[in-house]
Amino acid sequence: MQKPLNITVVGAGLMGHGIAYVLAQAGHSVRVYDRAQEALASLPERLAKIADLFGAPHALIDTVSAHSELSEAAESSDFVVEAAAENLEIKQFIVASLEAVVSQQTIIASNTSALPITRIAEKAFNPERIVGSHFWNPPHLVKLVEVVQAEKTAPEAVEKTISLLSGVGHHAVHVKKDIPGFIGNRLQHALKREAIDLVSKGVCDAETVDDVVKHGFGKRLGVLGPLEQSDLVGLGLTKAIHKTLMPDLDRTNTVHPFLEEKVVLGHLGMACGEGFRTWTLEEAEAVRSRLNTFLVEQAKAAKTNDQ
Ligand SMILES: NC(=O)c1ccc[n+]([C@@H]2O[C@H](COP(=O)([O-])OP(=O)(O)OC[C@H]3O[C@@H](n4cnc5c(N)ncnc54)[C@H](O)[C@@H]3O)[C@@H](O)[C@H]2O)c1
């Protein structure tokens, strides 16, 4: 059990409320700041819904308080997670506002999806205490966090962040260079680039791509990473496959024209009934429900295994 810390979460949205729950369930005292009153007002109800998923007592979330003043939320804070809008100016403004309130030792971690941490920290007085903490959605069910070391981040800030986030039950990994997409999104979008290209070339339809992943190598990805798998089958085989395959894989180095065309046509995905595939309201709801049920079951099983 870690020493309970005072932690501030900036942004009470989709990610912020889940991150607040993750930190509170580990015994930390969490103050959440948002500039939108509605986000603060609905925070207890959204936290209660997460607690209900795990059958956890609601008393747990009494340690999370909602604040409309950043100075109040961040005063004497040991650690801050910024999960506000994905906008560089907003994030730089939040860093500047935080630096006026917190001590020089307080670590400021940004949950940005794609903005370079180095840019978020570029106007800071103490950039050495600014790190990336890229949680995945939903953070209370997907227990990975990528801790990103920016150009000026001190190694101690990375170590402390990894230690804190490991202590709350997350698998915290160290991203040693501040590159776009960190690790997870680079891998995910390398796969999407080829998936989109296969469909655009008429090799198969979108449903078939999804089937190949879900019924094929996706089955083992949860227990066997791609490089572990290469080591398992042997690097000689991996090399032989790469010799044939690498010259043939898609190399589009911009938004794929097939994706561009979909967006221009307004085929934006489940929310409007058409994306790479067509979706009825019921089908879209069934996908959401299937994903949620799967993630909750996985999280519950992991908790049972830990006990
Ligand atoms: N949604 C995802 O799947 C996901 C996954 C990983 C990382 N992220 C990143 O996490 C961050 C938050 O994303 P989200 O999906 O929770 O967004 P969201 O829109 O659900 O929530 C953002 C919250 O920040 C608040 N906010 C905006 N500007 C603010 C300011 N200046 N001060 C205080 N609060 C402010 C908004 O009122 C809102 O409640 C973004 O940087 C996003 O890129 C999102």
Residue 49 parent element (H or E): helix 43-54
Active site residue 253: no
Specify the pLDDT at position 1. 65
Q: Which of 152, 175, 198 is the last residue of a domain?
A: 175
Assess whether 166 and 142 both reside in one domain: yes
Both 144 and 59 in a single domain?
yes
Asked if 19 and 35 touch (Cβ cutoff 8 Å), the reply is no
3-state secondary structure of 102: coil
Which residues neighbour 24 within 8 Å (Cβ) at sequence distance 6 or greater? 30, 47, 60, 61, 63, 64
Find the 287 Cα to ligand 1 centroid distance in Å.
24
Show the CA angle centred on residue 85, arms to residues 112 and 174, nearest 5°.
10
Ligand 1 center–CA 56 separation, angstroms: 25
What 3-state class would DSSP assign to 289? helix
For ligand 1, atom 3, the nearest C-alpha belongs to 137
For residues 35 and 76, membership in a common domain is answered with yes
Cα–Cα distance measured from residue 264 to residue 262, given in angstroms and rounded to the nearest whole number: 6
- Give how far the C-alpha of residue 47 lies from the chain's centroid of Cα atoms, to the nearest Å: 18
- Cα–Cα distance measured from residue 30 to residue 24, given in angstroms and rounded to the nearest whole number: 6
Tokens 């020089």 sit on residue? 104
Whether the CB of 35 sits within 6 Å of ligand 1:
yes
**What distances in angstroms separate CA 151 from CA 132, 206, 281, one per listed residue?**
11, 40, 46
Q: Does residue 137 contact residue 109 with C-beta atoms inside 8 Å?
A: no
Query: Residue 87 catalytic?
Result: no
In this prediction, residue 148 carries a pLDDT of 98
Residues 11 and 60 in one domain: yes
What pTM was estimated for this model as a whole? 0.95
Low-confidence stretches of the chain (pLDDT beneath 70): 1, 306-307
- Asked if the structure places residue 260 within a domain, the reply is no
Q: Write the pLDDT tens digit of every residue in 153-179.
A: 999 999 999 999 999 999 999 999 999
Question: Which pLDDT does position 2 carry in this prediction?
Answer: 78
Question: Does the C-beta of 39 come closer than 6 Å to ligand 1?
Answer: yes
Structural domain including 206 reads: 185-254
* Ligand 1 and 36: CB distance under 6 A: yes
Distance, in Å, from the CA atom of 198 to the CA atom of 18, rounded to the nearest integer, reads 35
Catalytic residue selected from 28, 111, 146, 256: 146
Q: How many domains does the chain have?
A: 3
Torsion angle of C-alpha atoms 73, 160, 135, 74, degrees rounded to 10? 10
Give me the catalytic one of 6, 29, 113, 166: 113
Q: Is 86 in the pocket of ligand 1 (CB under 6 A)?
A: yes
User: Catalytic residue at 111?
Assistant: no
Question: Is 134 among the catalytic positions?
Answer: yes
What is the predicted pLDDT for the residue at 299? 86
14 lines ligand 1 (CB under 6 A): yes
170 & 225 share domain: no
Q: In whole angstroms, what is the distance from residue 8 CA to residue 23 CA?
A: 10
**Residues 236 and 106 occupy one common structural domain:** no
Closest CA to 7 of 88, 96, 83: 83
Residue where a domain stops, chosen among 156, 175, 194: 175
* Residue 1 located in a structural domain: no
pLDDT digits (tens, 9 = 90+) for 238-250: 999 999 999 999 9
Q: Which of 254, 284, 299 is the last residue of a domain?
A: 254
Quick one: DSSP state of residue 29?
Answer: E
Q: Are 76 and 49 in contact (CB under 8 A)?
A: no
Q: Do 137 and 185 meet the contact criterion of CB atoms below 8 Å apart? A: no
Nearest protein CA to atom 38 of ligand 1, as residue: 13
- Looking at the fold, whether 229 and 116 belong to one and the same domain comes out as no
Task: For residue 66, report the distance from its CA to the centre of ligand 1, in Å.
Answer: 16
Same domain, 151 and 21: yes
Q: How far is Cα 81 from Cα 235, in angstroms, rounded to an integer?
A: 40
Please check whether residues 27 and 152 belong to one and the same domain: yes
1's tokens: 């059990």
